Amino acid sequence: MPASRRYISTESPSATGLPEVLDTQLEEWEDRLEEGEVPRFGDLTLLESLARKVLAALRKKGLIASA
């Protein structure tokens, strides 16, 4: 695993700040993909987990309606 990789932590941002965390992660992956890096299954799993946590936090705060 390259030293430049950062681990995703969703413990400190507020529900309204979590979308920014997800956006930052996605932008970083856009750059990495452009550089030719191929994501591994674990990378995709981390992004999925973060997206689910963001959705749950936004639903809990009433910012997004439940499905």
pLDDT for the residue numbered 1: 43
pTM tops 0.85, yes or no: no
Please name the residues in contact with 43: beta carbons below 8 A apart, sequence gap of 6 or more. Answer: 29
| Distance separating the N- and C-terminal Cα atoms of the chain | 37
pLDDT for the residue numbered 61: 86
pLDDT for the residue numbered 3: 40
Which tokens is 52 given? 């689910």
Could you tell me how far CA 17 lies from the centroid of its own chain? 12
Reading the chain (67 residues) residue by residue, the pLDDT tens digits are 454 455 445 455 576 688 899 999 999 999 999 999 999 999 999 999 999 999 998 888 888 888 6
Q: What angle do CA 49, 25, 20 make, to 5 degrees?
A: 90
